[in-house]
A and B are shown apart, each in its own frame.
Chain A
Amino acid sequence: MNETILEMKEITKTFPGVTALSDVNLIVRPGEIHALIGENGAGKSTLMKVLSGVHPYGTYEGDITFEEKACQFKNINESEERGIVIIHQELALIPELSIAENIFLGNEQAKKGVINWNETIIETRQLLKKVGLKLDPQEKIKNIGVGQQQLVEIAKALSKKVKLLILDEPTAALNEEDSENLLELLLEFKEQGMTSIMISHKLKELLKVSNSITVLRDGQTIQTYHAKDGEITESQIIKDMVGRDLSNLFPERNHNVKDNIVFEIKNWSAYHPINSERQILHDINVHVKQGEIIGIAGLMGAGRTELAMSVFGKSYGRRITGQLFRNGKEVFFKSVDDAIKNGVAYVSEDRKEYGLILIDSVKNNLTLANLDRLANKNVIDSSEEVVEAESIKSKINIKAPTIHQKTLNLSGGNQQKVVLGKWIFTDPDVLILDEPTRGIDVGAKFEIYKLINELAEQGKSIIMISSELPELIGMCDRIYTLNEGKITGDIDKNEANQETLMTYMTHSWRS
């Protein structure tokens, strides 16, 4: 296996003012799973865009050789013709179209412009079988889960006679079970001789499936490891990625948990917003003390986000019943505004859709949730606003050239900090953090953890929702497990481990 299927040699790509890649080398051997890893902004996605022709030939320097032929792709069609297919992080499926229509979109099984639907359906059935999906090809995309959608994307890639499959963060949106399935599938494809390149932040899964790992940092190749050369360790890779030792993934915290209960959710139930017969949350009881970090663990669809949003100013659901208590006194959150005024903040799991106004500046995003603090009779003191925004920016170390930068142009980690900063500016006592580290790199994660710890040390109460069990175990004082809309466990830090949590998370209470 010493031959090479793909070689990218001394690739340099500059954007106005930034060098995204400088002299990057990547060698991929046939039939392997090659992992590409690095912090956000390290240049992984840019490198893959160069490879697939999104950045056309001529806009970068360096040579690409695929199957011993030079590649000069002008667009993505040319790379796909050669069998290089990329699956982007954000799924590119059209919800209103069927699985079959999506798979053959742009590649329709047609004669003289007339689509042969029977052929399409039959082909789709075979492709779905290959990826292990038992679904009707005519099912609409919007009716299937995210995990299944990811598999449809792969089926779509297979339909293009793929030789080199590039996956950008394929498991970012998936829960543990779906991720597991996907990785199994990739291994199966490897057995059949397909080559893949996989970008991911999840070190564990990369170590599990990949034959080689290339680490990028600041647009440069740092190191390529091969599994056959001996054990690759997580800490070694992290060190390469961040350029420093991360002795511990989770920073130390001075536990300062007081006995008083700051926020309590009692007998909380809610129904689906459209299908009002379907109960989503069942009699939920959760409380958090001053200075405490509690976790909410649950598989996708367990009702974690639904719980948070229904509490936060009834932003989700119908027929909501139950009680909320702040410092023992009952409160009613009729709107988000009421929740904010009562010192509760909610950081959404989807920072682009629900957290940030991407076309607006860092400053305007930071102050949006508490403009009243800066305003006198509705008129904003713009000088004071600049001062406040600058102070948050430096306090939580948001890396942006100025506070007038659009949040669109920031990396994921920095965007997340802006969202956190926005809520810190409202000076809350209770912060509900929904997947606070989703899709951000190890270095930024560490900083977010530190920030969360600092908030707890200041006496704020944190409710942390996460799909990553190690994160909850590493950060929380207590972890609730949620399954099918009901709390199935309340586990102390000392008794929490992944196996226990998983058992409670999958414990069906309905039977």
Chain B
Amino acid sequence: MEGIKQLLSSNIRKFGMIIALVGIVLLFQVLTNGILLKPLNVTNIIMQNSYIIVLSIGMMLVIITGEIDLSVGSVAAFVGAVAGVLLVSWELPVIVGILLCLVLGAIIGAWQGFWIAFVNIPAFIVTLAGMLIFRGLTLVVLDGKTIAPFPDGFRSLSSSFVPDLFGGSGGELQLFTIVIGIALSIVYVLSEIKLRRTDTKYEFKTLSYPLFIIKLILFIALINVFTYVLASYEGIPYVLIVLAVLITGYTFVMNKTVIGRHIYAVGGNANAAQLSGVKTKKMKFWVFVNMGVLSALCGIIFAGRLNAATPQAGNLFELDAIAAAVIGGASFTGGVGTVFGAVIGALVMGVLNNGMSLMGIGIDWQQAIKGLVLLAAVAFDVLNKNK
């Protein structure tokens, strides 16, 4: 019992966000008479928020280093516009177009990273300038017009589903998705067992055996309920695979690698990191390059989903991404935050949007309520820390 208590109190922040998310989901499930968690709507929530989740992962890294990026919305719009020109006007192959867009994102990130890391101009200024520059360039590239429609291959990234490889067409359940769920469960159990073995080998404290089993069952249930819900609609969207890869990839980098530790160190205390041999400037530079690439990916997904490159794309995305990171536990003083937290933060905002839309609440009140939630989340965190 003591162990559980300690586990809870030491992870109050992480669990706090998850509890908040679950609470919001349950609230809207009731308020919308059960529409929220219908398979169609769950799939919708994922697809609607995919591009914000992509951005908030990058934003989380930026905020962990103690910086900020206000330009991501404009960069996403600019890359979407360039994608329109490359794929629609010039009719380049889809893969080539996407790769060129990602490289463009990296170059933009490098441009901003250069001023921030090596010339020491505050990120706020550099990216505020970037916000204007790339919004302007979007208009230049598009000549103020909308380019549409995109080829099918480009759209599938953001709006298609993995086909049922087991040929089940027209069935109630997509068998392939269920199989994926089972496969994931097996991978999960195996990795947990491996982890437990290492911990035992090193004589670290582990969960008691019954608790361990309960934890396994809980997570297996969670994975399979989720895939079951997806299977009841059209199966797994391609964009979910992209998200899964990004989330696991970035979580791994941040927790397990030297690069991740150095990013946290730069944000925690740049002077101390510098004197410990961390290349702080390089680190900041690459975090912005990374942000550029993810902004580009966001732009691609968004343009695909809209099936058009428009001058207004990506408006206020930067604020959604920052809000997601902050709700997810980032601190503006740097050094704190997790990739997982950013995803939870983005989902909190996403479910709020979706739930309120389902209830027919107008966009005016939605904005106001989202603002209050952001403030409440941070206030809760600050008060909790002062206790």
How far is the CB of A263 from the nearest CB of chain B, in Å? Answer: 18
Judged by a CB distance under 8 angstroms, whether A91 is at the interface is: no
The answer to the question of B146 belonging to the interface, with a C-beta cut-off of 8 Å to chain A, is no
Q: Which residue of B lies closest to A426 (CB)?
A: B277
Which residues of B from 183 to 202 have beta carbons under 8 Å from A? Answer: 198-199, 201-202
Could you say which residues of chain A place their CB within 8 Å of the CB of B271?
353-354
The reply to whether A337 and B257 contact each other, CB–CB distance below 8 Å, is no
Residues of B within 8 A of A348 (CB): 272, 275
**A354-B272, A368-B276, A382-B256 are known contacts. Are A360 and B264 too (CB-CB below 8 A)?**
yes
Task: Please state if B275 and A360 are interface contacts (CB–CB under 8 Å).
Answer: no
In the complex, what's the smallest C-beta–C-beta distance from B59 to chain A, in angstroms? 20
B198 with A375: CB separation less than 8 A: no
Compute how far the CA of A288 lies from the CA of B274 in the bound complex, rounded to whole angstroms: 25
B199 touches A360 (CB 8 A): no
Nearest CB in chain A: distance from B133 CB, A: 31
Q: Mark A335-369, 1 if CB is under 8 A from B, else 0.
A: 11101100000101000011111111000100011
Other-chain contact of A383, B202, B278, B279, B336 (Cβ < 8 Å): B202
Q: How many residues of A contact B (CB 8 A)?
A: 32
The docked-state distance in angstroms from the alpha carbon of A346 to that of B258 is: 21
Q: Which residues of A contact B277 (CB under 8 A)?
A: 313, 335-337, 339-340, 369
Asked if B258 and A383 make an inter-chain contact with CB atoms under 8 angstroms apart, the answer reads no
Contact of A336 among B262, B268, B275, B335 (CB under 8 A): B275
Which chain A residue lies CB-closest to B259? A378
Are A335 and B268 interface neighbours, CB within 8 A?
Answer: no
User: B202 CB to closest chain A CB, in angstroms?
Assistant: 5
Q: Is residue A70 within 8 Å, beta carbon to beta carbon, of the partner chain?
A: no
Cβ A359 vs Cβ B258 within 8 A: no
Does B258 lie within 8 Å of A380, measured CB to CB?
A: yes
Q: Answer whether A346 and B275 are a contact pair too, CB < 8 Å, given A359-B336, A387-B202.
A: yes
What CA separation (Å) do A313 and B279 show in the bound complex?
Answer: 11
Give chain A nearest CB distance to B227 CB in angstroms: 29
Interfacial chain A residues near B256, Cβ < 8 Å: 379-380, 382
B261 contacts chain A at the CB level, 8 A cutoff: yes
Query: Which residue of A has the minimal Cβ distance to B268?
Result: A357
List of B residues within 8 angstroms of A360 by Cβ: 264-265, 268, 335
Q: A368-B278, A383-B198, A383-B202 are in contact. Are A375 and B257 (CB under 8 A)?
A: yes
Whether the pair A335, B202 counts as a contact (CB closer than 8 A) is no
The verdict on A422 contacting chain B, using a C-beta distance below 8 Å, is: yes
Q: Is the CB of B274 within 8 A of A336?
A: yes
The distance from the CB of A112 to the nearest CB of chain B, in whole angstroms, is 35
Smallest Cβ distance from A249 to chain B, in angstroms? 29
B86 interface contact, C-beta 8 A: no
Q: Which residues of B contact A356 (CB under 8 A)?
A: 269, 272
Residues facing A in B245-301 (CB within 8 A) are 256-259, 261-262, 264-265, 268-269, 271-279
For the complex, give the distance between the alpha carbons of A364 and B266 in Å.
Answer: 13
Q: Is A115 an interface residue (CB 8 A)?
A: no
Would B273 and A368 count as touching, CB distance under 8 A?
A: yes
Question: CA of A371 to CA of B263 in the docked complex: distance in angstroms?
Answer: 13
A315 within 8 A of B: yes
Q: Does A73 lie at the interface of the complex (its beta carbon under 8 Å from any beta carbon of B)?
A: no
Q: Does B204 contact A (CB under 8 A)?
A: yes
Taking CB atoms, residues of chain B closer than 8 Å to A369 are: 276-277
Q: Is the CB of B276 within 8 A of A336?
A: yes
Is the pair A380, B257 in contact by a Cβ cutoff of 8 Å?
yes
- Chain A residues with CB below 8 A from B201, complex form: 383
Within 8 A of B (CB), among A360-404: 360, 364, 368-369, 371-372, 375, 378-380, 382-383, 386-387
How far does the Cβ of A353 sit from chain B's closest Cβ, in whole Å?
Answer: 6
What size tier do the contact residues of chain B reach?
20 to 34
A312 at the interface (CB under 8 A from B): yes
Enumerate chain A residues within 8 angstroms of B275, measured Cβ to Cβ: 312, 315, 336, 346, 348, 354-355
Contact residues in A for B257 (Cβ distance below 8 Å):
375, 378-380
Q: Provide the residues of chain A in CB contact with B259, threshold 8 Å.
A: 378
Q: In chain B, what residue has the closest Cβ to A353? A: B271
Evaluate contact between A359 and B276: CB separation under 8 angstroms: no
* Most chain B CB inside 10 Å of its own CB: which residue of A359, A375, A387: A359
Q: Are B335 and A315 in contact (CB under 8 A)?
A: no
**Nearest CB in chain A to that of B195: its residue:** A383
- Set of chain A residues within 8 Å of B274, measured between Cβ atoms: 315, 336
How distant is A294 from chain B, measured CB to nearest CB, in Å?
21
A379–B255 CA distance with the chains assembled, in angstroms = 9
Cα of A354 to Cα of B278 in the assembled complex, Å: 13
Q: Are B268 and A358 in contact (CB-based, < 8 A)?
A: yes
Q: How far is the CA of A346 from the CA of B274 in the complex (A)?
A: 12
Distance in Å: Cβ of B323 to nearest Cβ of chain A: 22
A312→B276 CA distance, assembly (Å): 10
CB distance from A389 to the nearest CB of B (A): 12
> Which residue on chain B has the smallest CB distance to residue A309?
B275
Q: A368-B273, A380-B257 are in contact. Are A357 and B265 (CB under 8 A)?
A: yes
Docked-complex contact A358 and B269, CB < 8 angstroms: yes
Distance in angstroms from B265 CB to nearest chain A CB is: 6
Q: Are B261 and A386 in contact (CB under 8 A)?
A: no
Max chain A CB contacts within 10 Å: which of B261, B271, B277, B279?
A: B277
Considering the chains assembled together, what is the distance between the CA atoms of A99 and B301 in angstroms?
57
Partner of B265, one of A315, A339, A355, A368: A368
Q: In the bound complex, what is the Cα–Cα distance between A378 and B254 (angstroms)?
A: 11
By beta carbon, the residue of chain A nearest B271 is A354
A241-261 vs B, CB cutoff 8 Å, 1 = contact: the mask equals: 000000000000000000000
Known: A353-B271, A369-B277, A378-B259. 8 other contacts (CB 8 A): A340-B277, A357-B335, A359-B268, A359-B269, A368-B261, A371-B261, A383-B198, A383-B204
Chain B contact residues, CB within 8 Å of chain A: 198-199, 201-202, 204, 256-259, 261-262, 264-265, 268-269, 271-279, 335-336
A-B contact pairs, 29 of them (CB 8 A): A336-B274, A336-B276, A337-B277, A337-B279, A340-B277, A348-B272, A353-B271, A353-B272, A357-B264, A357-B273, A357-B335, A358-B269, A359-B268, A360-B264, A360-B268, A368-B265, A369-B276, A369-B277, A371-B258, A372-B258, A378-B259, A379-B258, A380-B256, A380-B257, A380-B261, A383-B201, A383-B202, A383-B204, A422-B276
A interface list, Cβ under 8 A from B: 312-313, 315, 335-337, 339-340, 346, 348, 353-360, 364, 368-369, 371-372, 375, 378-380, 382-383, 386-387, 422
9 tightest Cβ-Cβ pairs between the two chains A and B: A357-B268, A369-B276, A357-B269, A337-B277, A336-B277, A371-B258, A340-B277, A368-B276, A383-B202
